[in-house]
Chain A
Amino acid sequence: MIFKIGFFISFAVFAVGMLYRLFGFFQVAIGPEAKSFSFFKRVTTFLSSLFVVLANPVNLFRLCKSIILDVVLQIQLLRQDFLKWCMHIFIYVGFMGLLLFHALEDYISEPLFTDYFSTINPFMMLRNVLGVMVILGLIIAIQRRRKNTGLRLISKKPDFMAIIVLAVIMISGFFLEGSKIISAPVFDDMIDEWGSMLEDEEISPLQVYWQEEYGVVFPGETIEVTPEALEEGEIAHDNNCGFCHSKPGWAFASYPISVGMRPMAGLFNAVRMDIVLWYIHFLSCFIGLAYLPFSKFLHIITSPISILVNGIVGQTIKKPENRATRRALDLQACTHCGTCTLHCSVAPVYQMFSNTYIFPSEKLLALKERSSGVSSSPEARQQFSEGSFICTNCNRCSELCPAGINLQDLWIESKREIALEQFGDPCVQLRDTKEAKWSRPSTENIVIASPKQKTDPGILESSMQAGSFSLCYKCMTCTTTCPIVGMTDNYDSIGMAPHQIMHSLSLGLIDRAMDSRMMWDCLTCYKCQENCPQGVQITDIFYEIKNMIYEKEYKG
């Protein structure tokens, strides 16, 4: 009864969750353009394109190739990281094997194998093989997440939750099998159910035989082991039990567990530990099923789809509606495996900025949370923007993603989206604040700058030649060679010309220099610095001032 209720509840949660996800694939909008497409438009565009794509034999060939190489054999992962491939293949083969041939045995194993019994070989042993594979895979997974510094940094609760749920299912399964091996009550139940052919006097020798050969423990009962009883027991066993039961030693993982349980057998048999573990095993499976649409287990369904999409069309989807749909699917296909982050071209910046949104895996997670309605503070959006605009769109993450996610498209669109929310490129944000400072009414009196205390050359200590601006004698060579000055009629539009900036520095007006829009409109072509007769490191000083502005006005 509990089994049925549990199953139906978890299946209902699973089904509702999956529908919600399916709906989301055509609803979630990443990028400004995506918001203009209706749900209906996206569904119809997807279906019509799917038809066109699959009608092409070349694409069908690619699809088959991709199913075998990318989905089943995970070649992409194998090329990148053998250990990670082993981890994934162990978990995936083990789990799928157990799901199909053990959990769904009524529907798959029994019709497929006429002589199927879960307690005979090769089925009993194979179940242990598959279970051990999953456990090995989980051990590798935990070790990777603990040992690899990059992965340790990004591993979060959901990553460990998935490992824990799987581990509970597997371990409870092994202990369940172990507890059944030693269980006298299970032995009695079996006699009641299957032993109608047994004579009463055969039961005692059968107990002897099962105690000695099958590891059942009969606490509180005195079982006298004699060669005659064993012989009689064997005959009774062969006639009644043998064709359904291989020796428990074949369950090479559960059997040692049962041996370990023997000293506690009295207690375990009394509390029916096998039933307790049965509940744990099934409930954990049901929890796993219900949790699937809301956890990284969802990738079991979504990742193969994104891998196949990638295998067929790569990064070349043309229709914007379909690109939007793919972005929504891709968000859910992420397994948070960290490959993107471990290979990210700008990841080392984290050592200086401590902003996890520099990492692609964390940007994707933020997009995913946002798409499911979690609101984020302006500070978090600014952090996300900073991380996003550090990305150079080198495309390496998309090339390496084992789930075939087109991360490049996500970054391009999320940058466009966040720029519309006033959290655009930090350099542009800073430049725009300067624009306001310099746009003054023409009637306003010109403020005559008067020298303050001398600028301490040490303030620009990281520049090549820290105090070199003080060598400037205002010959204006920098300004006359500057291509940006050449583009403008008046200095006001750029704030100040390069020679004026050097001059303000000598006057101690570093704030004035920092407010000049020229800083952010500088091409960094180094013509000023190259041509300066005094060797003033003008472009490098500009970089230095920009760093100060960034630190003070953007981060501070």
Chain B
Amino acid sequence: MKYALFSGCKSSFYLPQYRTSSEAVLSSLGVELKEVEFNCCGYPLRPKSLDSFLILAAKNLAIAEQQDLPILTLCQCCFGSLKHADHYLKNNPNKMEMIVSLLKEEGFDFKGTTKIKHILTVLAEDVGYSAIEKQIKKKFKGLKIAPHYGCHALRPSNITEFDDNPQNPTIFEDIIRLTGAEPIDWTKRLECCGNPLWEKNNELSLGILQQKIDSAKDESADMICTACNYCQLQFDEIQNNELEKAQTEQSPSILISQLLGLSMGLSDKEINIESNHIDLSGIRNFF
């Protein structure tokens, strides 16, 4: 299994731990990742210009196509964005023609054959639960986790094809269960984290975040688990810096790769939970 790693713009500076922990987990599971210089997925440009969104996304697809590798994204917004552009171009021959000719100028012979996967779908579908289970060294006991699905991977389901049942997906829970942790059901499970409005309308963004945290707390979750750059930034850094709550009122957030990594017995350096803004060191007490 070999993929071109699409870690997303936010991962290098704001969230390096997602990348390092994912690389460590995936390599232990026999997944080979190739370092490829992609550009922005196009998601931030969608409100401004469809064409800009398409050229950015399509160039990534073309780069992966040239390498003959499927894309593995860590961020769900990147995943959704690439899937959307792929779907769009396949259904709009005129735009496809425009994009193909622009990419040709840069030396790409774009056909649109690239497969796009998110780390969760790679884990569930390509690696498989039994292969993951074999690598689990320690199981958590009594750790309650609120899985946060992330909108752009889940919806629109006809385009993202993320989970067979978009109204009641199970892929995230199934993976969490492998670590011995208990995934809880919570009312705001499939809702937005609020980050798309961060720095655009902070009041609304934080309001949405607060609702999510309250909902997770209501079901006595010990922490939230994410699989997206933006969601993790929202639940970790922004919750910590902006909501200014006492530690007991916070709901820490762990990345799925960090959760798996801990359970697989990977080194602290690889999992890098020290980089998280909200202290997560207590998680080891659940082993």
Contacts and interface: CB of A to CB of B under 8 A. Distances in A.
Q: Do A and B belong to a common assembly? A: yes
Contacts of A346: 39-40, 44-45, 56
Given A530-B155, A547-B50, A523 B194 contact: yes
Contacts of A530: 154-157, 166
A543 B44 contact: no
Nearest to A343: B37
Given A347-B39, A353-B52, A543 B152 contact: no
A521 B201 contact: yes
Contacts of B95: 462
A247 interface: no
A351 B102 contact: yes
A347 B40 CA distance: 9
A346 B152 CA distance: 20
Interface string A388-426: 001011111011000000001000000000000000011
B152 A427 contact: no
Contacts of A325: none
Nearest to A517: B201
B155 A349 contact: no
A551 interface: yes
B200 A427 contact: yes
Contact of B56 (A349, A394, A396, A546): A349
Most chain-B Cβ atoms within 10 A of its Cβ — which of A462, A524, A550? A524
Interface string B1-44: 00000000110111000000000000000000000011110001
B49 A550 contact: yes
A351 B13 contact: no
A339 interface: no
Contacts, number: 132
B200 A348 contact: no
B204 A521 contact: yes
Contacts of A526: 151-152, 154-156
B48 A348 contact: no
B59 interface: yes
Interface string B41-75: 00011111111100110010000000000000000
Q: Which of B14, B40, B154 has the most CB of A within 10 A?
A: B40
Contacts of A521: 197, 201, 204
B155 A348 contact: no
A434 B44 CA distance: 21
A349 B55 contact: yes
A218 interface: no
A354 to B, nearest CB: 11
B55 A352 contact: yes
Given A352-B49, A396-B12, A523 B197 contact: yes
Interface size range of chain A in the complex: 35 or more
A446 interface: no
Contact of B40 (A394, A484, A539, A547): A394
B88 interface: yes
B48 A546 contact: yes
A395 B12 contact: yes
Contacts of B204: 484, 487, 521
A62 B39 CA distance: 32
A547 B191 contact: no
Contacts of A315: 13
A520 B211 CA distance: 20
Contacts of B45: 346, 349, 390
Nearest to B199: A425
Contact of B155 (A393, A427, A527): A527
Contacts of B48: 390, 426-427, 546-547, 550
A546 B194 CA distance: 19
Given A349-B55, A523-B197, A529 B50 contact: no
Among B13, B45, B48, B194, the one with the most A-chain Cβ atoms within 10 Å of its Cβ is B48
Nearest to A412: B13
Contacts of B13: 315, 393-395, 398, 408
B192 interface: yes
Interface in A446-487: 462, 464, 483-484, 487
A524 B151 contact: yes
Contact of A544 (B50, B192, B208): B50
B180 interface: no
Contact of A425 (B40, B59, B200): B200
B128 interface: no
Contacts of A398: 13
A12 interface: no
Contacts of A425: 199-200
A392 B8 CA distance: 10
A543 B156 CA distance: 14
A14 B9 CA distance: 42
B265 interface: no
Nearest to A538: B156
Nearest to B88: A464
B9 A353 contact: no
Contacts of A529: 155-156
Nearest to A519: B47
A84 to B, nearest CB: 16
A345 B9 contact: yes
Nearest to B95: A462
B112 interface: no
A539 B84 CA distance: 12
Contacts of B142: none
B107 to A, nearest CB: 10
18 contacts: A348-B56, A394-B9, A398-B13, A427-B200, A462-B95, A464-B91, A484-B208, A487-B207, A521-B204, A524-B196, A525-B191, A526-B151, A526-B154, A530-B157, A543-B47, A543-B50, A547-B47, A550-B47
Given A343-B37, A394-B9, A524-B151, 15 more contacts: A346-B44, A348-B56, A352-B49, A352-B51, A352-B55, A390-B44, A390-B48, A392-B40, A487-B207, A520-B201, A521-B201, A526-B154, A537-B156, A544-B50, A550-B47
- 5 closest A-B pairs by beta carbon, nearest first, are A394-B9, A526-B155, A395-B13, A525-B192, A392-B9
